[in-house]
Amino acid sequence: MIRIGLIGSGFIGKAHALAYRTAPAVFELPADIRLEMLADVDAATAASAAERLGFARSTGDWRALVEDPDVDVVDITTPNHLHEEMALTAIAAGKHVYCEKPLAPSVEGARRMTAAAEAAGVKTLVGFNYLKNPITTLAREIIESGEIGEVFGYRGTHFEDYMLDPETLVNAWRLDPAAGDGVSGDLGSHAISMARYLVGDIVAVSADRHTITTERPAGEGATMRRIDVADALRATVRFAAGARGTLEASWMAPGRKHTITAEVWGSKGALTFDFERLNELQLYRTGQQRGREGFTTILAGPAHPDFAAFVPAPGHQLSFNDLKTIEVRDLVVGLSTPSAGCWPDFREAMEVQRVVDACIVSDRARAWVDLGDI
Amino acid sequence: MIRIGLIGSGFIGKAHALAYRTAPAVFELPADIRLEMLADVDAATAASAAERLGFARSTGDWRALVEDPDVDVVDITTPNHLHEEMALTAIAAGKHVYCEKPLAPSVEGARRMTAAAEAAGVKTLVGFNYLKNPITTLAREIIESGEIGEVFGYRGTHFEDYMLDPETLVNAWRLDPAAGDGVSGDLGSHAISMARYLVGDIVAVSADRHTITTERPAGEGATMRRIDVADALRATVRFAAGARGTLEASWMAPGRKHTITAEVWGSKGALTFDFERLNELQLYRTGQQRGREGFTTILAGPAHPDFAAFVPAPGHQLSFNDLKTIEVRDLVVGLSTPSAGCWPDFREAMEVQRVVDACIVSDRARAWVDLGDI
Amino acid sequence: MIRIGLIGSGFIGKAHALAYRTAPAVFELPADIRLEMLADVDAATAASAAERLGFARSTGDWRALVEDPDVDVVDITTPNHLHEEMALTAIAAGKHVYCEKPLAPSVEGARRMTAAAEAAGVKTLVGFNYLKNPITTLAREIIESGEIGEVFGYRGTHFEDYMLDPETLVNAWRLDPAAGDGVSGDLGSHAISMARYLVGDIVAVSADRHTITTERPAGEGATMRRIDVADALRATVRFAAGARGTLEASWMAPGRKHTITAEVWGSKGALTFDFERLNELQLYRTGQQRGREGFTTILAGPAHPDFAAFVPAPGHQLSFNDLKTIEVRDLVVGLSTPSAGCWPDFREAMEVQRVVDACIVSDRARAWVDLGDI
Amino acid sequence: MIRIGLIGSGFIGKAHALAYRTAPAVFELPADIRLEMLADVDAATAASAAERLGFARSTGDWRALVEDPDVDVVDITTPNHLHEEMALTAIAAGKHVYCEKPLAPSVEGARRMTAAAEAAGVKTLVGFNYLKNPITTLAREIIESGEIGEVFGYRGTHFEDYMLDPETLVNAWRLDPAAGDGVSGDLGSHAISMARYLVGDIVAVSADRHTITTERPAGEGATMRRIDVADALRATVRFAAGARGTLEASWMAPGRKHTITAEVWGSKGALTFDFERLNELQLYRTGQQRGREGFTTILAGPAHPDFAAFVPAPGHQLSFNDLKTIEVRDLVVGLSTPSAGCWPDFREAMEVQRVVDACIVSDRARAWVDLGDI
């Protein structure tokens, strides 16, 4: 029995809750999940969310949740700058920690969190849920199996447009430098984690940060405040294994609602996908019959990892929330396996954050930065 | 509190169970759901499924479930030819009935079921879940609002390929005439329900049934048996409101995994969608700026009915299972509203079945058939 | 040396002229082409067009062109109802005839034209240019080679929307029953010729004609006149070889500008294409590696018939006009080969027209019609 | 009368010849075109090509062509490193010059050519034919009109895969550093010219060149030679007007046959296109009706510049060769207009080359380079 303590019940907190409810019926889990306690900004909000989402208890004080002896896992879905204190407190209390991405606003915090978790021997999982898509897993399988040969090129993006309107504030905390460098950590970290998952360590970057809207209202009807965090991030990167590529992220990409793309080029072929159609992968292989060459559109189906548990028919489509359900399955399996941890853990998330920070340093230096220096 | 008795726990039974678990956390429901009892082919199977899916009790005897005083709704997910007896028994016991499609193998059974339900005053819901897709609901809104003008043309399809291999038996019961006319009822009924939802009553059909594989093995390693049911159904149809169109269904459409399409033509525009990309709708409107005309690709998002409850960000994609969750929401709301029923109910499913049967009659007569004669 | 006499210099006449100019430089032709004479509605129009398109002489009297001793081929690009007289006159003068589709407003005319040509021993070619697309040729090669197995299903369409606006007249002669049954001959004949090219003879049809706009202005600012010809045609069809399918055509398909599709289903796969992307073919084959199945998007390239002559690089795209250039190549090769004719010839076009007429008869009878009865 | 002297009759030379033949019939040109002379590597090759492509005379000595008094325009379609000598000789002879891209292997040559042309007062045109696509012109119109607001982001690519196979040599001269930096000049120059056309001057770049295949055979069955030129080029760039972006080019992009993309982001919308579907543009505009937002797929048609002259029906598709025909129209109009030149001229091509060279300098310096320093 794994007893969950969830902090936060907004967009992503609700997604976690849905995943906890669904995972045991979708997968055959090695342990039961108990929705033990939910914490939110105040007791009333927490109580209402707990009632709706099926948690047994609630609290307006996240510390009470963290300290609660009946909580095994502390699940942190709060804004980025709150992760560290919550995680360190949970680790100190001997709890496992499931934390949303990015792990911390900067690599220093991520390092502290990783060190604390590893010293305490607790298990950690960070919510880079796009890695859990069966299509993503398929992409990695294709790469690892050598089907597309030696990888030499990569193109990764994460584009949305929720910050496009200069008058509208969406998640104003995201514009606070204390929460990190805007889109660099918010969407950029997704693009970086995907690149690392598919092609491995990044060893050097040359990045350009762009603050497009330099003033935004501080709140509803409020005066304008100066904005310094990145609205767009562009980088050329080099991987340890020799591949080169580009990484791009923007939350001001007009019309792009959920464009998370990867394009991987190898000596024997290529693959690409776009999460606006998150159940599709395009695969090209050299050596096809002459005149029949082309990209094949593969629809996610029961032949692919983790799909059949949801629906045994190909083409029947998984959703954003389903990716979280797979992530929760990984959490439960990781916690239930003595010799293993969860993945991606704090250390991996720290490595992602190192790349984010390298981009910021590179932007300031107007030069390439080696990851070894971060 | 609505207490569910689920009969069947296969592909679609599991989908129902997932929906029951998810709906209360996604939506604010007017009543609680209790997973009271699960019946399957034998007690062990039922017990195992109940454990996994979260049902309180289980039974190997569906009659026990139907008669159980703590069951409010009998949810039937068994093969088509078993629906009628189960539903009539449930209705006789005063239960509401939530039944998978097609309602019955032929219109006679559907009529008996409808008459019984209406006489008993129980509420009914039939699982034409594709009507619950926010994209489908959007399509209907666009049509009803007059945005694409007066509708004069329709093209509807439902194509999959799970029966393509002549050696492989998938759901062998689907090939038994006792379960209905093969693809006509299985996928054809989906295409018909979609057409009725979007354009209204069908008044005449000219149909061609095609049994492509006329012999298949009776079972694993078994001798061949003659197959008479349709592998493909094609029809030209006329709607009461004046529109004309085509309806096509096949379970031997090579490469098509979940192709459910509708294309609606009106005097002021057109819309179309394909469930292999079930979060997209293409909309064309006349009167666009010259040189800027084209179909707009609309991604499902929080601006559309029922989407935001799952995820508040556009483009983040719903799944096949999510459609069942919306269907369960409709079940709970319908049962909780004294003056209303659920939809689509047995009567609507009977109307769908009338069109299926009209196609069969037309095929035999090699002529148009008026629905009034069915 | 082949000396061309072109009648008509509108949209399609100009396309012919461009093809004559281009073909000798694209292909290595067995004979030279000389643009000998151009006829149009009056001498001035003809002279102007001849000057622009590069014809040596011009005339306002098509009979003068047909009788001219220095014209070898009479190329007819006038409205449908004018084809027969012109062609018969040309044949009587011993000329070869290159005629636009549909050959005639009805099968009777097509029969007379075919009989006359065959009796006279002149060669004929009819402008079903969509059959000349390298992608179409590739489709046929794939089918004939057995790559997709035994063909059992077909879906063909030709949709445009140039008649959508009820106030606007485009090519008013197309609405005159004397020119044929509206879209049935105009676009329907394209769809039928494609179906015949890919799957072979059609032996039975059940068709529904739909006049959507029943009144249109007789001309600019003119009073309304009653319209009887088809705006849309829908048919279920049976092929001689056992396949079944649907054919659909409409010139009131909102937003569809050049949608010419074929979808061919066989026991080992499927292929499909859409001329709005006329350089692409989608191919699905059974027996692909599990988990890698899908449609492959093949871009037209030098590996395909007739492409390399235009551009030796794949993906570099051919145009509508390029299809006419291939057609003209076929004209020149056919005329230069003693033992061969051109294709599709009058006889093939007559077979297409028989299907058009069968659809009209079927619509009136509200029943299936065997082609043997037409 | 404009008398053309064409040097080279390979892939692109033939494309020029086709364009000369077609342009006068497609467009109403202000002057006639005469195919005066063709030069190739030897007299026989030249004679054969002249015969096939319709040139009046031929020569194996390009200098004879350049000096010929009956040649008005020298059209250079030879490998890159031959452009300069030919162009300078032609300019010295007072000829107008139409030269393929890239103008020269490096900016020094491009500067010399530009200076000579401007000093001599001859007119020049460089074959960046992708700028002539009606879809490209439409994109520029949309940007210039302010429809998508103030532009702040750009993503440009040109990907093909003709150098993917390490064993095969395609256009071996392209691998010779004397011809320029491999893909940087070959495809990179196209991507740069597109960026400049749509968003304006580039003022700084940070680039990464990648030689993926470091050894290739020196010829058929030959020994290997070391390769130093770029197989892939990636750059982050800044525009004078404030926008930022990325530019990428590769001739080893597996499966990409003709991927030339631009994505332009502005404060009021975005547009994007891909030349693998060269008749389509995707346009997104803010302020659309809520719930109807999305990218609109615009098919090239007669509402767009230069399309109607080819075919008066939308969706009927132009080809790669058609873009050259528009370019030739621009040549003839430019030469016929006393007060105007052609565009893009040598100066513009030199500006493109400055960006290419800046990328090379940046790659070596591992730092940003200001264009002012090139």
Are the beta carbons of B253 and C234 separated by less than 8 Å? no
Q: Which of D373, D335, D337 is nearest to D124 (CA)?
A: D335
Count of alpha carbons within 13 Å of C345, Cβ hemisphere only? 18
| pLDDT at res. D170 | 63
CA distance C169 to chain B (A): 16
CA-to-CA distance for B195 and B352, rounded, in angstroms? Answer: 10
| D98 sits in which H/E element | strand D96-99
Chains with 3+ CB–CB pairs under 8 A to B are A, C, D
Are the beta carbons of B297 and D295 separated by less than 8 Å? yes
Chains with 3+ CB–CB pairs under 8 A to A are B, C, D
**In chain B, % of residues over pLDDT 90:** 94
- D103: which DSSP letter? S
How many CB atoms are closer than 10 A to CB B173?
Answer: 14
Are the beta carbons of D297 and B294 separated by less than 8 Å? yes
Are the beta carbons of D265 and A244 separated by less than 8 Å? no
Touching check for C143 and chain B: CB below 8 Å?
no
Note whether D248 and D230 are within 8 A (CB): no
Note whether C103 and C350 are within 8 A (CB): yes
Taking 90 as the threshold, does the pLDDT of residue A167 lie above it? no
Chain A contacts in chain B segment 235-294 (CB below 8 A)? 256-259, 275-279
CA-to-CA distance for C255 and D173, rounded, in angstroms? Answer: 47
Q: Which of D93, D84, D80 is nearest to D186 (CA)?
A: D80
Are the beta carbons of C253 and B245 separated by less than 8 Å? no
**pLDDT, chain C, mean:** 96
Chain A residues within 8 A of D295 when measuring between CB atoms: 255
Which residue in chain B is spatially nearest to D289 when comparing CA positions?
A: B303
Hey, what are A334's tokens?
């990781």
CA-to-CA distance for D312 and D319, rounded, in angstroms? Answer: 15
CA-to-CA distance for C351 and C126, rounded, in angstroms? Answer: 12
CA-to-CA distance for A188 and A101, rounded, in angstroms? Answer: 11
CA-to-CA distance for D124 and D91, rounded, in angstroms? Answer: 10
Are the beta carbons of D246 and A250 separated by less than 8 Å? no
More confident site: C162 or B170 = C162
CA-to-CA distance for C102 and C349, rounded, in angstroms? Answer: 7
CA-to-CA distance for A330 and A332, rounded, in angstroms? Answer: 5
Hey, what are B363's tokens?
């095929």
Bridge partners, A74 (sequence order): A5, A97
Are the beta carbons of A254 and D164 separated by less than 8 Å? no
Which residue in chain A is spatially nearest to C147 when comparing CA positions?
A: A292
C-alpha dihedral sign at D20, D23, D25, D28: negative
Bridge partners, C263 (sequence order): C155, C272
CA-to-CA distance for A112 and A346, rounded, in angstroms? Answer: 10
| A14 sits in which H/E element | helix A11-26
Tens digit of each residue's pLDDT (9 = 90 or more) over C286-325: 999 999 999 999 999 999 989 999 999 999 999 999 999 9
**DSSP assignment of C168-203:** --SSGGGGSGGG-STHHHHTHHHHHHHHHHHH--EE
**DSSP assignment of D247-266:** EEEES--TT-SSEEEEEEEE
- For helices C134-144 and C188-199, the axis angle rounded to 10 degrees is 40
Q: Where are the alpha helices (DSSP H) in chain D?
A: 11-26, 43-53, 62-67, 83-92, 107-120, 134-144, 183-186, 188-199, 320-336, 346-365
Are the beta carbons of D252 and A284 separated by less than 8 Å? no
If DSSP codes are grouped into helix, strand and coil, which group holds residue A364?
Answer: helix
CA-to-CA distance for B114 and D178, rounded, in angstroms? Answer: 83
Tens digit of each residue's pLDDT (9 = 90 or more) over B232-247: 999 999 999 999 999 9
Amino acid identity of residue C12, one-letter, is: I
Tens digit of each residue's pLDDT (9 = 90 or more) over C194-243: 999 999 999 999 999 999 999 998 777 778 889 999 999 999 999 999 99
| pLDDT at res. B222 | 74
Tens digit of each residue's pLDDT (9 = 90 or more) over A333-353: 999 999 999 999 999 999 999
Q: Which of B277, B293, B274 is nearest to B285 (CA)?
A: B293
CA-to-CA distance for C131 and D306, rounded, in angstroms? Answer: 27
Amino acid identity of residue A137, one-letter, is: T
Q: Which of C322, C350, C346 is nearest to C134 (CA)?
A: C322
CA distance B370 to chain A (A): 34
CA-to-CA distance for D259 and D131, rounded, in angstroms? Answer: 14
If DSSP codes are grouped into helix, strand and coil, which group holds residue B155?
Answer: strand
Q: Which of B347, B344, B350, B318 is nearest to B331 (CA)?
A: B344
**Which residues have a Cβ under 8 Å from the Cβ of A27 and sit 6 or more positions away?**
A309, A325, A329
- B103: which DSSP letter? S
**DSSP assignment of C221-289:** TPPEEE--S-SEEEEEEEETTS-EEEEEEES--TT-SSEEEEEEEETTEEEEEEGGGTTEEEEEETTPP
Q: Is B61 left (phi over 0), alpha (psi -120 to 50) or beta?
A: beta
| Cα three-residue angle A314-A317-A318, rounded to 5 degrees | 125
| pLDDT at res. A170 | 64
pLDDT tens string for chain D (374 positions)? 999 999 999 999 999 999 999 999 999 999 999 999 999 999 999 999 999 999 999 999 999 999 999 999 999 999 999 999 999 999 999 999 999 999 999 999 999 999 999 999 999 999 999 999 999 999 999 999 999 999 999 999 999 999 999 987 767 889 999 999 999 999 999 999 999 999 999 999 999 999 999 999 877 777 888 999 999 999 999 999 999 999 999 999 999 999 999 999 999 999 999 999 999 999 999 999 999 999 999 999 999 989 999 999 999 999 999 999 999 999 999 999 999 999 999 999 999 999 999 999 999 999 999 999 99
If DSSP codes are grouped into helix, strand and coil, which group holds residue B348?
Answer: helix
CA-to-CA distance for A155 and A134, rounded, in angstroms? Answer: 20
Our measurement of the distance from residue B359's CA atom to the centroid of its chain's CA atoms, rounded to an integer in Å, reads 18
Bridge partners, D74 (sequence order): D5, D97
| pLDDT at res. A188 | 98
Tens digit of each residue's pLDDT (9 = 90 or more) over A214-229: 999 877 777 888 999 9
CA distance A294 to chain C (A): 5
